[in-house]
Every structure is written in structure tokens, then in C-alpha cells.
């Protein structure tokens, strides 16, 4: 058990109001959270010491455990300014190196603000014990201990804004910092002419990975040409990656995402064209039969690593974590109908979750320090996340050919138009699976998909 946790328990015993909040919150959010929290206290390693900082345990997060809840080592006085930050483990503990860098950056902020009580807590990004669920429950139970700054997936921004769980930045970030964002990253956080949050990393940037020992010629930029070559490709055709690839083809074919009434809709003919690309590639053997068995990039990647496939659909995070030191695995843009597809991206953002002017100002200062080009550049490189700021990418190794490739792709990228769990993505995922299993023709699958979205 860490010193933070021991002191935190003592503090909570003295503060009945806080204890009441946590009991109510745990009962509301998850009946077994107390057990998970107790188990994590007994097994988690002691965080690396950071002079004057708030330590974050340097360990790889487990997908099926509840992140620890850090408790302040001392009670916040009535006059002492305080700042509370919630960070999901995917960001706080992306890698051991990035966790150490983040600790150092938080320590630097604390050193420059010695009168501020800075509290860093881990909260899950999704599930019953997610940041948004805690915010929803906590504001009616004990709003005084809710956060001022949070890191959340960008596809959660709209519900957070609509429920007033977060608040637009409204001048907290200079125009120059907004102009430095990659275009699609800026579009992701624009809502009703306001900046909802500040994106700090980009995720999901799609690539086509290939084995350079077996693919020695230049990879074609047209999908039809690529699919006619005597190679094999693996992709997850039973999940979101397949649906996203279809969406990129759909937009490449001129498809629109809304009808004349402004409602989400798909057009049959562009969708049939998109599905035809996958259907043909599967029919002629270019796309492996096993593709329809997989729903995630993590599941399909081993077949590429083992040499079963020459090509694999991947994305920026996976490739940065899986690329080999010898450079055998290379990446290129995904070929399209006539030229490479415009990639679709999403990401993570820092959002202000307090309306109090004093706390908003403090949260804005911390946000600015974390998105500083050198700070974000160093942390993003260590975490294997592409930064949303162009100046931050400049701090990545200039001799790495992937950096130039990523910069080019980010400048061509489109923002993800809706959540990966939206109804339109479910429809596209199902259509891709149907044509990849040859259960339906592209035309039939497209007609049924378009009809499924009609009100």
C-alpha cells in the first residue's frame, strides 16, 4: 500500500462528507468497485518518486481492473487554491517512460505553483466507473471534489457538452495554439463555433502495413490494382476497423452522411461502390478468408507478423507499438478508388470540467503547460501516440521516416464524423461482414444498410 493511499484513508476517515460521497458513488456506479479498489491497494507497486510531484504508478494498465483512486495526502484548506485532474490509465500509464515524463511535467507545474493543492486521480474512460458517469453522479452528491480538468476520448465530447459536464475553453487557449493543430484535430473539437476542448493526441490514423521482404515493388495507390497483385491481406472484417475502411471508401466515392433534412443517412450507390472494393478483393483471394473471424486490429495483426499475409490494415498506435527495429514492416497510405484514401481520425482531449472562474484559470494554466510543444512532443513520442499539434511532432526524431509519413497523413485526414458505437457504424460494420463472408452482394448490402438508417 502506497503512502498516498494510507494518508488518503486517514483523511477520508476524518471527513465524513467525503466518505458519504464515495459510498453513494460506489453504490450508484458499480457494486463491486470497493472490492476492486481493495485488491488494487494490495497488489499495485509503489509509484516512482517525483520530487514535489503527484506520482502515477508506472505499470501497464489492465483492461479488466478498476483504476486506483488517488487521494490527496493532506486535506485542502478553505483558503488554499486547489486543482483536481482526472486521467484515464490509457493516458497516465501508456508506457513506463511516458508515465515518468508525465510525472515530471506535473511536478514542474507544482513547483511553479507552490500554493496550489494539485490532486491527480485515475478514472476509467468507459464503463460504469467512467469519468462521465462519475461526473454525472458526483455533481448531485458532492460537487466539491469533482475535477477541474479531465482527459477524455474525443467521441465523448458531445454528450459531455450537452449535459454541461464540461465547458468550452472560451479564451483559455491562444489562437496560435489552435492554429498549430492538424486541421482534422481542430475540427474534432469545434462545436457551434466554440472550442469545446483541446485535442492533445490523434488516434486511429489508418495505415496499410506491408512486409518489405516480400513486397519489393512500390505499393499501388489504386485499390483495384493492389487487389489484383499476387499477395494476401488481413483485416478485421467483423468489427469497427472494417466499417471504418468502408466509410473511407464511401466518402471517396462521393457519399454524403446526411440527407436533405440534415439527418444521418447513407446513399445506396456510393455505399455499393465502397462495398464492391472489399467484395472483389475477397472474391479473388487477396483478402484472407480468416478476416471475417476478427473484430480488432490486435486479433488480426499476428497473421501479418507470422507471414501469413503480406499486407495488414493497421493504425498509428498499433504500428508504433509493433514495428520492428530492423524496419521489415513498413507502412503506406491505404489505396483508394483513384488515389490514396483520406484517413479518418479521432483522439483524446483535455477538457475543462469546472465553471468556477478561479479553478478554470488554474486548469487552463496546467492545460497550457501540458500541451507545450516540447512537453507534448516528448510525452507523445514516449507514449506511442501521435500528437495533435504540428509543433509537437517536430520534436520526434527527424531521421525516422515514419514521422514524415505521419505528418503527410495527418494533413490529409478527416475528423471522425460520429462515435464508433453509433448506429451508422453498426450498419457499416454489418454490411462489411455480409459482403466479406459473401453472404450478400454489395448492392443488396448497401440497400439494406441505407434502409436501416431511415427514420
Which string of b and e fits 294-315 if b means at least 16 CB within 10 Å? bbebebbbebbeeeebbbbbbb
Highest mean pLDDT among 4-13, 38-47, 213-222: 213-222
Please name the residue that has the C-alpha cell 491562444: 174
Residue ranges of the chain assigned to CATH 3.40.190.10: 3-203+346-401, 206-342+421-452
pLDDT band of 53, cuts 50, 70, 90: very low
The C-alpha cell of 162 is what?
450537452
pLDDT in tens, 157-196: 999 999 999 999 999 999 999 999 999 999 999 988 899 9
Of 56-60, 302-306, 388-392, the least confident: 56-60
pLDDT for the residue numbered 78: 52
Mean of pLDDT values over 360-368: 97
Q: Domain 206-342+421-452: give its CATH code.
A: 3.40.190.10
pLDDT for the residue numbered 157: 95
Mean of pLDDT values over 360-383: 98
Q: Which of 421, 419, 428, 434 is nearest to 453 (CA)?
A: 428
pLDDT at 56 over 70: no
Instruction: Quote the mean pLDDT of the chain.
Output: 86
Answer whether 0.85 is exceeded by the pTM: no
The rounded distance, in Å, linking the Cα atoms of 245 and 309 is 18
Of 47-61, 136-150, 326-340, the least confident: 47-61
pLDDT for the residue numbered 390: 98
pLDDT cut 90: percent of the chain above it: 76
pLDDT in tens, 228-287: 999 999 999 999 999 999 999 999 999 999 999 999 999 999 999 999 999 999 999 999
Alpha-carbon torsion angle 288, 294, 299, 304, nearest 10? 10
pLDDT for the residue numbered 141: 84
pLDDT in tens, 99-108: 999 999 999 9
pLDDT in tens, 13-40: 434 334 344 334 433 333 333 333 333 3
pLDDT in tens, 416-450: 999 988 999 999 999 999 999 999 999 999 999 99
Q: Which of 206, 234, 223, 232 is nearest to 293 (CA)?
A: 234
pLDDT in tens, 194-216: 999 999 999 999 999 999 999 99
CB 107 within 8 A of CB 58: no
Q: Domain 3-203+346-401: give its CATH code.
A: 3.40.190.10
118 strand-pairing partners: 83
Amino acid at each position: 500500500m502506497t503512502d498516498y493511499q494510507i494518508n488518503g484513508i486517514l483523511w477520508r476517515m476524518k471527513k465524513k462528507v467525503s466518505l458519504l460521497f464515495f459510498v453513494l458513488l460506489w453504490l450508484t456506479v458499480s457494486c463491486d468497485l470497493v472490492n476492486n479498489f481493495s485488491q488494487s491497494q494490495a497488489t499495485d507497486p509503489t509509484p516512482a518518486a517525483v520530487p514535489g510531484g503527484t506520482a502515477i504508478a508506472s505499470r501497464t494498465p489492465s483492461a479488466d481492473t478498476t483504476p486506483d483512486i488517488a487521494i490527496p495526502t493532506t486535506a485542502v484548506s478553505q483558503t488554499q487554491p486547489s486543482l483536481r485532474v482526472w486521467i484515464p490509465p490509457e493516458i497516465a500509464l501508456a508506457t513506463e517512460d511516458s508515465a515518468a515524463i508525465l510525472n515530471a511535467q506535473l511536478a514542474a507545474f507544482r513547483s511553479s505553483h507552490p500554493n496550489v493543492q494539485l490532486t491527480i486521480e485515475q478514472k476509467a474512460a468507459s464503463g460504469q466507473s467512467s469519468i462521465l458517469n462519475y461526473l454525472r453522479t458526483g455533481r448531485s452528491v458532492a460537487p466539491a471534489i469533482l475535477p477541474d480538468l479531465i482527459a477524455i476520448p474525443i467521441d465523448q465530447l458531445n454528450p459531455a457538452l450537452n449535459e454541461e459536464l464540461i465547458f468550452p475553453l472560451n479564451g483559455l487557449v491562444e489562437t496560435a495554439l489552435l492554429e498549430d493543430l492538424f486541421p482534422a484535430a481542430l475540427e474534432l473539437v469545434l462545436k457551434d463555433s466554440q472550442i469545446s476542448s483541446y485535442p492533445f493526441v490523434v488516434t486511429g490514423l489508418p495505415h496499410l502495413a506491408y512486409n518489405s521482404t516480400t513486397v519489393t515493388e512500390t505499393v499501388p495507390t489504386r485499390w483495384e490494382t493492389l487487389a489484383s497483385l499476387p499477395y494476401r491481406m488481413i483485416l478485421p472484417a467483423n468489427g469497427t476497423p472494417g466499417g471504418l475502411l468502408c466509410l473511407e471508401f464511401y466518402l471517396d466515392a462521393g457519399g454524403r452522411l446526411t440527407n436533405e433534412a440534415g439527418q444521418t443517412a447513407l446513399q445506396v450507390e456510393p455505399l455499393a461502390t465502397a462495398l464492391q472494393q472489399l467484395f472483389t478483393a475477397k472474391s479473388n483471394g487477396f483478402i484472407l478468408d480468416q478476416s471475417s473471424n476478427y473484430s480488432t486490429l490486435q486479433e488480426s495483426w499476428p497473421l501479418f507478423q507470422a507471414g501469413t499475409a503480406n499486407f495488414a490494415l493497421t493504425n498509428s498506435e498499433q504500428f508504433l507499438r509493433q514495428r520492428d527495429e530492423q524496419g521489415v514492416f513498413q507502412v503506406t497510405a491505404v489505396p483508394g478508388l483513384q488515389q490514396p484514401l483520406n484517413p479518418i481520425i479521432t483522439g483524446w482531449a483535455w477538457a475543462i470540467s469546472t465553471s468556477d472562474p478561479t479553478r478554470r484559470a488554474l486548469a487552463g494554466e496546467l492545460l497550457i503547460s501540458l500541451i507545450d510543444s516540447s512537453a507534448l512532443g516528448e510525452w507523445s513520442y514516449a507514449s506511442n501516440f501521435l500528437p495533435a499539434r504540428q509543433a509537437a511532432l517536430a520534436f520526434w526524431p527527424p531521421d525516422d521516416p515514419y514521422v514524415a509519413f505521419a505528418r503527410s497523413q495527418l494533413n490529409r485526414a478527416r475528423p471522425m464524423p460520429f462515435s464508433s458505437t453509433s448506429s451508422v457504424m453498426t450498419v457499416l460494420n454489418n454490411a462489411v461482414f455480409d459482403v466479406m463472408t459473401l453472404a450478400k452482394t454489395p448492392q443488396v448490402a448497401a440497400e439494406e444498410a441505407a434502409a436501416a438508417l431511415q427514420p
